[in-house]
Amino acid sequence: MFSIPLFGSQNFPAVAKVGLSLLISWVIFPSVPPTGIIKTAQWLQLVPAIIAEIMIGIVIGFTARMFFEGIQLGGQLVGFQMGFGIVNVIDPVSGANFSVIAQFQNLLATLFFIALNMHHVFFNAIALSFKKIPVFHCSLSTPLWEWLIDLSSNIFLVAVKVGAPVIAILLFTSVALGIIAKSVPQINIFIVGFPIKIAAGLIGLGITLPMFFIVLKKIFSHFDEYIFIILKAGALPS
């Protein structure tokens, strides 16, 4: 609950996170298969199991968080090209400063995330984790970390997919402004170019919004696949 997007936001009340966690635990508990080891285990043996369960939960939430970071990175690149490099707002999830364009795209992605009911995928992953990784059978193995490292490279891939169309429009705008500056040196291109790049960036964002949602839909459609691979890599070999 503290690592999944939306629920992990600092604006989401901590009491609500705890209450939702207890509610989900109460609902899932009857479906968890009983294990004889739990009945005879000493409390010192439970500590590693608790830590392992917490790590699996963090990894599942971190899977989605990486893609949202890629979306924010793409928006940050677009905002920088538009001249919004110093116009920053505080991200409620991470507490870091991002440009207004990055925050705008992050909010759109969050709303689309909810509209597709993708948060249900993570609720299902919590229940599935107890079936794929029984208690005392969690392994923070090398394949798991290798998969997370490979998955983290998608941050830059998502950023390019999200930001490339608008960045291309702003690049052509800068080229056009450069040609004008050489052809008509009397024009103060720095004063004229700033509002033009902002207008071009905003128009480009509006034009490419359908493409933005198509990219998001393709990304979100693979979440269940990524989670299944993580659960498979985190289970001890039988």
The model's pLDDT over 136-165, given as tens digits with 9 standing for 90+, comes to: 677 777 777 777 777 777 788 888 888 888
Least confident of 2-11, 159-168, 188-197: 2-11
- Residue 41's pLDDT is 53
Q: Is the pLDDT of residue 13 over 60?
A: yes
Q: What is the mean pLDDT of residues 122-143?
A: 76
Q: Would you place residue 238 in the very low, low, confident or very high pLDDT band (cuts 50, 70, 90)? A: very low
Q: Where are the domains of the chain?
A: 14-233
Q: How far is 200 from 194, CA to CA, in rounded Å?
A: 10
60-111, pLDDT tens digit by residue? 888 878 888 888 888 888 888 887 766 665 555 555 666 788 888 888 888 8
